[in-house]
Every structure is written in C-alpha cells, then in structure tokens.
C-alpha cells in the first residue's frame, strides 16, 4: 500500500515538474492527478509551449528570445 502511494506520488510530482517546465502547469497537475504515469507520458508528448525550435539550427530556444543563442540568427517569433 505504501509502495503504491509513493509510486503514485512520484509520478504526480513528475507530471507537475514537466508541466511547469513546458509552461503548462495546470495540465501537468491535472494529468498527473487523474492519470498518474500515463499523464506523465502524455505530458512528455505534448507540445512545449515555452520553447520553440530555431528554424536555422533546430535548437530548442525560449520563445521570447529574439536571437538564437546557439547560431546567433535572428528568430522571427510567430506565436
Ligand atoms: Zn539557431
């Protein structure tokens, strides 16, 4: 019983962490709470709302950044 509680709590916290990282904290909390490990999996596959892919070097950069820190190209923010 204690094992499953820890198991569930671990995935719940993991879902919150991933949700926070992707700028989608509410979805992280809900998915982790309702679905547990499956919610974590769904979160991993969900779109990252805080980062965009640089069109020049495919690096993950913050969506508010004006220049790509990796290749120094100007990034046009569409979102
Ligand atoms: Zn780049």
Is the model's pTM score more than 0.95?
no
CA of 76 to the centre of ligand 1 (A): 11
CA of 75 to the centre of ligand 1 (A): 8
For residues 26 and 40, give the distance between their C-alpha atoms in angstroms, rounded to a whole number.
13
CA of 63 to the centre of ligand 1 (A): 12
CA of 72 to the centre of ligand 1 (A): 6
CA of 22 to the centre of ligand 1 (A): 20
pLDDT of 78 reads 54
Residues 6+ apart with CB under 8 A from 12: 32, 33, 36
Alpha carbon distance, N-terminus to C-terminus of the chain:
46
Residue ranges covered by each domain of the chain: 2-47, 49-79
Diameter of the chain measured on Cα atoms: 54
Q: What is the pLDDT along the chain (79 residues), one digit of tens a residue?
A: 889 899 889 999 999 999 998 888 998 999 999 998 899 998 888 877 788 888 899 988 888 888 899 999 888 755 4
pLDDT of 77 reads 57
């Amino acid at each position: 019983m204690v094992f499953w509680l820890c198991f569930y709590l671990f995935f719940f916290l993991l879902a919150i962490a991933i949700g926070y990282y992707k700028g989608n904290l509410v979805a992280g909390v809900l998915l982790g709470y309702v679905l547990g490990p499956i919610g974590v999996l769904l979160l991993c596959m969900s779109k990252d709302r805080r980062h965009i892919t640089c069109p020049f070097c495919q690096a993950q950069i913050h969506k508010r950044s004006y220049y790509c820190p990796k290749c120094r190209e100007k990034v046009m923010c569409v979102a």
